[in-house]
Structure 1
Amino acid sequence: MIADIKKSAEQKMQKSLESLKVDLGKVRTGRANPGILDHVMVDYYGTPTAINQVANVSLLDARTVTVTPWEKKLVGAIEKAIRDSDLGLNPSSVGDLIRVPMPALTEERRKDLIKVVKSEAENARVAMRNIRRDANGTLKDLLKEKEISEDDERRAQEDIQKLTDRFIAEIEKVLQAKEVDLMAV
């Protein structure tokens, strides 16, 4: 019973950490990354569809992402979707190949992006603490119902706290790596 609570808390914390990594992957650095276009939606015959489901997204060089639509009719729609996204990118097409150059980041823009990254990390920390609170609440309920002893409850809470500390330290590592990545010129 206690093991299930710990396992559930650990799985939820792992999902929160993965979610943070995905969110931070969307914050662009000066380098090109094909994953940056993952959340951009294209109007595909009236249905919003992710770019990577209607085109091949790859790297041309360190600062250029290329998009090759599977249907030539989509070139204009994909270009418009990238231009209208919140990424600040300006694609250009050559035949049926769309080039998306990554502009160099200014110092001010880098600092703004670091604020965004820190905010995402804080949201992840809050999620970890909420998971801990829920797990501890479940343990307290089991104690009230006399299904576990006070010693078991205390040990389980300590284990959950260690788990929380471990995942928060992992969040810090991910945050530090992203900050270094953003400040790299």
Structure 2
Amino acid sequence: MSTLFVDTVNEKTTNNGVYIPGHVLQVQQTVFKDSFSSSIGPDFVEVTGLRCNITPKSTSSKILIRFSLCISSQYWQVRGRILKDGSPLDDALGNQRGSNRKRVSYNYVNYNNGDSTTVYDMTGIPVEHLDSPATTSAIQYSIDIGGYNTGYAVYVNRSHTDTDATTYYGTPISTVTLMEIGG
């Protein structure tokens, strides 16, 4: 058996880069600094500020999708789905159970033994999935959000009260980070 020691590996003619399976080939990120709200209720609406595009370098690559969300609600519940080119990414959704439950990528229930003040809390949640897109065409990943019922708002990067009357409310960010992993 031989051992090869090198300082660099350079491609000769293809101009496509050197790919090492299992290593990060590129990283793309969108930072959403504004706030978002919707009263869509049990349906879903895309958070337009949390879109990120990536063009895989190889059809064998995987894309690690990472959302870091700061969310809150007017009443009880926030849920949503990872979207790929505007449609729910099926592999990133839970299995169907029953006829009323929605298949989602994340679900947060903001409830604490009937203490109504807790519905104003903001919380940070991670949402992550490893996709196998099998393409070298551009892909857009985003996320949607839905809530308890029509007329009850859900929020990104703000609380329900969102008042400037005190100094203890913050203005957070949410992010989406895409990492191409060589296949």
- The structure number with the bigger radius of gyration is 1
TM over 0.5, shorter chain: no
TM-score (norm 1): 0.23
Higher RCO (CA < 8 A, seq sep 6+): 2
More strand as a share of residues: 2
